[in-house]
Structure 1
Amino acid sequence: MMKTLFPILFVFISVFTFAQELKVMSYNIRYDNPGDGKDRWDIRKSELIDLMKSQNASIMGIQEGLYHQVQYLDSCLTNFTYSGVGRDDGITRGEYSAIFYDSTLFSAEEELTFWLSETPDTISVGWDASMERICTYAKLKHKESGLIIHVFNTHFDHLGEKARLESAMLIIDKIMELCYEDEHIILMGDFNAEPGSEPIRQLFSFFNDIDPHQIDMQYGGPVGTFTGFDPEAIAEKRIDYIFTANIELLSYTHLDRLRKNGRRISDHLPVIVKIKM
């Protein structure tokens, strides 16, 4: 059972005396693979930063970033800091699921990374996954209002079908363990699972999200999020999501933007939501 927050009157007063619109971004930035040729990290990284800055997001979750990529983002994103560790050693080795946040707006009250496995508190590979997978959590406090946002950022396995479902269930359990019933919650990442799959069905049942097959004025961009680097590829495969709970969702966008040379900035499109809290 999710925690119950007391006193209820305090929550009521907090929510209804403060309202702030914010942007949140989830972006698989593609790990630095020398084999990517003309789409190598060192060639596209400055335009990726330009895209991130142009969206004015206050909270950004990235997937696949290696330590030096995370450090590059950290050096370029003024006023931002991050929560996260490498998945291979719990320090700096391996890919991160880092959460960047505007430190002029938020402070991190609690930070945690757990492994998507039967033993989430230790470095481990879960179920039928092909490698270590993690979820990073940050409990962010909005400095002006004192409101709390619980942010989770993850990257599910691309091969293990059982691992993806179990990972979804594990994260739901962690949310119920860490979060109060009426608090603001965001889960984002690359889930390597399309709408209609069982992991996404489980997450849909717990969160609010926009169904791209029922596009309305709130939804913008292509239906999908994975394209590879090919600029001619049609974004039909949706595997990246931002889920929210107890948050008013104002807009939901898959941003399809190209580099100056016509190639894609990453092999995934960023997901961007505007929220009111």
Structure 2
Amino acid sequence: MIKVMSFNIRYGLADDGENHWNHRKCLALARIQAFGPDLLGLQECRDDTQADFIRANLPDYHFFGTHREGPWDTALEMAPLLFRRAAFTLLDSGCFWLSETPEIPGSISWGSAYPRTASWAKLAYRDTGAKLTYVNTHFDYEPAAIDGDAQCLRHWLDQQGSHSPVIVTGDFNTGKDSKAYRLLTGEGALIDTFRQVHPPEENEATFHAFGRPEEMAPIDWILVSDHFRVLNAQIDRSHVGNLFPSDHYPVMAVLEWKA
């Protein structure tokens, strides 16, 4: 059994008033610890005191993230992946940029507002030795860039081969009626874990802008290859009054390997 979580924790420098990172960081950490994921994908995690807090309070996890770079104050943001050392052994890891030149750090294409990355790790499951590739990403929000990011990621995944078990987490900045969603889930590519368990008409919103119903959108997904069976999938909508762990709800899935 593999427990997976994707969680956009909202960058720590944002002027969010009562929902500033300093007020909600312990609540965000508590939601991670409550689920206890084996694989954890974070988005908007800055490599400053924000990442330091995550590393210090999740000592049982290996943390791998790469600055997305660029000339702006967002250069320190990462889309890091974490895995529980007791569950997995690291075989290899790396990062590529969602652009027409993915090997060039900080590269931008398709009118993207910022450089965007995908972090990946090849892991061996300690219980059985079975291998998988885990990818965590954060797409841009410009429409053309979202499609380009999806094409770039799909191309990279296709290069890994259909024989390779894959788990992808991310903030994709687009809904499930989009071209990007179809690119990643069409033709038997990847399976949307939430929709494997819940009907499409159920509430799938994950972005909520700190509790604003008019802003809600289903943009955070956990996608897996057909090597896995989805046992459960949920959206954690926990909050304490007007204090939220983030402006996104974390999404979670429980998987098992198919025979």
TM over 0.5: yes
Conservation of the 8 A alpha-carbon contact between 1:65 and 1:95: yes
Is 1:233–2:216 an aligned residue pair?
Answer: no
Give the aligned CA root-mean-square deviation in angstroms.
Answer: 2.1
State whether residues 250 and 275 of structure 1, in contact with CA within 8 Å, keep that contact through their aligned partners in structure 2: yes
Deviates more, 1:108-117 or 1:203-212: 203-212
The whole-number CA distance in structure 1 between the counterparts of 2:195 and 2:130 is 30
Q: Which amino acid aligns with 2:66?
A: V
Q: 1:234 to 1:249 in 2, by over 3 A?
A: farther
For residue 233 of structure 1, report the CA deviation from its aligned partner: 2.9
Residues 223 and 158 of structure 1, relative CA distance in 2, 3 Å threshold: same
Q: Return the alpha-carbon distance in structure 2 between the equivalents of residues 131 and 27 of structure 1.
A: 20
Corresponding residue for 1:128? 111
State the secondary structure of the residue aligned to 2:121: strand
Q: Unpaired segments of 5 or more residues in structure 2?
A: none
8 Å contact 1:25–1:60 — kept in the other structure? yes
- Matches of residues 25-64 of structure 1 in structure 2 within 5 Å? 25-64=5-44
Distance between the aligned counterparts of 2:252 and 2:239, measured in 1?
Answer: 16
Partner of 2:131: 148
Match of residue 242 from structure 1: 222
What pairs up with 1:102-141 in 2 under 5 angstroms?
Answer: 102-123=84-105, 124-141=107-124
Task: Classify the secondary structure of the residue corresponding to 1:35.
Answer: coil
1:262–1:213: structure 2 CA closer, same or farther, 3 Å change rule? farther
Q: Is the 8 A contact 2:194 2:253 kept in 1?
A: no
In 1: Cα distance, 2:75 partner to 2:215 partner: 31
Question: What TM-score do you get using the length of structure 1 for normalisation?
Answer: 0.84
In the superposition, relative to structure 1, how do residues 28 and 250 fare at CA in structure 2: closer, same or farther (>3 Å)?
Answer: same
**3-state SS of paired residue (1:165):** helix
The alpha carbon displacement at 1:214 in A equals 8.5
The counterpart of 1:74, out of the listed 45, 55, 69, is 55
Q: Distance in 1 between matches of 2:75 and 2:99?
A: 18
Q: Secondary structure at the match of 2:181?
A: helix
Structure 1: gaps spanning 5 or more residues: 1-20
TM-score relative to the length of structure 2: 0.89
Going from structure 1 to structure 2, the CA distance change for 1:215 and 1:120 (only over 3 Å counts) comes to same
Which residue in the other structure is 1:17 paired with? none
**Aligned pair in 2 of structure 1 residues 95, 224: CA closer, same or farther (>3 Å)?**
same
Cα gap change, 1:49 to 1:65, in 2 (>3 Å): same
1:1-277 correspondence to structure 2 within 5 Å: 21-68=1-48, 69-88=50-69, 93-123=75-105, 124-159=107-142, 161-177=143-159, 179-205=160-186, 206-210=189-193, 215-216=198-199, 222-230=203-211, 233=213, 236-245=216-225, 246-259=227-240, 261-277=241-257
Equivalenced residue count is 248
Question: CA separation in 1, counterparts of 2:18 and 2:26?
Answer: 14
Percent of residue pairs bearing the same amino acid type = 26
| Deviation of 1:25 (Å) | 0.1
